Amino acid sequence: MTKKTIPGLKIICLNRKANFNYFFEDFIEAGIILKGSEIKSVREGKVNIADSYAIEKKGEIVLINSHIAKYKQASISNHKPTDERKLLLNKREINKLIGKIQRDGLTIVPTKMYFKKGKAKIEIGIGKGKKKYDKRATKKNRDWNRDKARYIRKSS
């Protein structure tokens, strides 16, 4: 079975730990403001969003702790790898996110970064953190499904 790919979409990096650590309620696509050396480094694929999260700052949503490696050819005009980066969202979406953060105690976590029609986009998920027993149950389910598939393959 082949996966269908969306034309014009090139995935840069994924946050694989996000689905293991959070129950996601909703996903939103957002643009991201990048400097010249940052976008060149992103085009090379030198991005890590595994430990990053987003917060509200002065009525805007800001991505914290995302690591974009320094661009080798940019000498003086290079950027800091772990700068805060503003996310581009509509005012209605920002208000919705701020309400969910404050009212429900949810967290905004980036799940993947990709290029869509030449523009860098980031998919953020609004979710609640899993407890330790939830993570154990997820791992147990995953292992059981893997073993079940092995038994079926051996029996047929």
What's the pLDDT at 40? 87
What's the pLDDT at 75? 77
pTM of the model: 0.79
Give mean pLDDT in consecutive 10-residue pieces for the chain, a chain of 156 residues.
65 87 90 88 89 90 90 81 89 91 88 91 90 88 92 87
What's the pLDDT at 1? 46
What's the pLDDT at 2? 54
What's the pLDDT at 4? 57
SS (H, E, C) 8-36: CEEEEEECCHHHHHEEEEEEEEEEECCCH
Dist. CA 113–CA 67, nearest whole Å: 12
What's the pLDDT at 3? 56
Dist. CA 86–CA 43, nearest whole Å: 19
Architecture of domain 9-131: Beta Barrel (2.40)
What's the pLDDT at 86? 92
52 phi and psi angles, rounded to 5 deg = -95, 160
Domain boundaries, given as residue ranges, for the chain: 9-131
